Amino acid sequence: MITTKFDITQHHWCVSGYKMGFNHPVTEVMTPTFHDKDADQTMFRIVVKNNMTRNMADHLLGSFEEAFDFLDSVDFSALGKSSCLAENDGTALSWN
């Protein structure tokens, strides 16, 4: 998911990625946000403003399709441990 987030920025879109869990403020236990999803699963958050046009929405969907096509064409298994890894919070990229 985070790799897709990075690829979407190449199309000039800012899409946030989050884990579906949160650190409970009292118990400090990682707690799922949704009862039917794993807390470690990730999701995108897209904010749609009232000035978004149909053409902009089509461009966003096309950008996702291009990102998925690109990522499907990459053989990540060859990268091994020197690959691009998501940091613990699941939102930033680091290069080893």
What value does the CA radius of gyration of the chain take, rounded to a whole number of Å? Answer: 16
What pTM does this model have?
Answer: 0.57
Task: Output b/e per residue, 81-95; b: 16+ Cβ within 10 A.
Answer: eeeeebeeebeeeee
**23-62 confidence digits (pLDDT tens):** 999 999 999 988 898 888 888 888 888 999 999 999 999 9
CA dist., res. 41 & res. 59, Å (int): 26
Q: Which two tokens stand for residue 33?
A: 């946000």
Query: Domain limits of the chain?
Result: 2-73
Q: Which two tokens stand for residue 16?
A: 């946030």
